[in-house]
Structure 1
Amino acid sequence: MDRCSNLQVLTAVGCDAAIDLADVIRIESLRSLNVRDSGLNTLDALADRPWTTALSCYTPRNRITDVASLTRVPRLQNVDLTGNPLSEHSYRTVVPALREQGTRVLLSGELEWKVTRHLHEQGIPVSCYRKKETFTLCLPGLELTEFPDFGHVKIPEKEVESLLSGNPERAFHFFPDVFESGPGSAHKGP
């Protein structure tokens, strides 16, 4: 990371849970961190540095559950947590606290958040988010697909609601290009 000392914007797409922000926070000129459609599960490292510049943190469609550490990030201007399986505490308590501190927060609506959280709690790494008026499912990270930022499936609200009950593995059936006949026979494809 020493060679990246002037880096201001870092974008990572489709990384798995092994992504570690400890090295990233050493980049003093960093102003924008973008990690999307990945397996990132914590933002705690961001609170380990006294930021002297304003920071924007865009982390849509990851596996982040706890964002309490973000309240300790000085000068945090923007954060995107859309499509993450946030805990009840993070969704209902921490996010409002961030907004009170002046941070602009993008967040999933109640239904998408509940579905994403429910699926992840059941071991199904599928995220739900809403883009304009359309509900969409995606597979963050490289665990199940080589192209986590493509092939997001649009589904009707009724189908989204149905994912809150019944067999959670049913979510995989919305990805026929990835799963031939269920998650046990997954093949990677475009």
Structure 2
Amino acid sequence: MDFLIYLLSAVTVQSALLAAVAWLCKGLVTHQLSKEMEAFKHQLQVEAARTNVIFAKLHERRAEVVAELYADMVDFEIAARKFTYLENEAAGTTQQFVEVMERALELQNFFNKHRIYFPEQLAVRIDTYQDELVEKLKELHSLSKFGRLPEELQGKLFTAWGSLIKHMNESLPLIKAELEASFRGLLGVHESDRADERADA
């Protein structure tokens, strides 16, 4: 009987020791995992902050590019309209044509360098607009640079002039509207916000 009591007490003590060791190991593992989890959470927070900074800078840069392209398009439009007006009055000069073409090239170069900031559909629309506009300007200039034209060429001149004006009037407002919407979107201003502001006024 003493042996049985001894055996039971030995098993009980060993079980208690094993339970204590298991509890201690579990506590150590849990503590270590908790420390690693905290370190991992901290690393995730650092990465999230870094990503937010990167996206904020890209967002800011995109807004700058959109605003600059818009301003360049307005400058180009003014120069092109001035040129077409002067051409229509038969007073356009080579110097004015050179100025318009320089603005066109500046606009095209700026856009090509920053094309990545624009959705593909808008980028294609801008490319098409610029290419067609430059061709129409060249055609108008080639017809008008000779001074007084024979009557049969005067019709072509006015057709070219009308085609250029029509192209600008149809295409440019759409592109500018898309750029405006893009810029407002970057600023967080949406059409519904603007409608609410107009309703409140």
Scaled by the length of structure 1, the TM-score of the pair is: 0.23
Q: Which has the higher helix share?
A: 2
Question: TM-score normalised to the size of structure 2?
Answer: 0.22
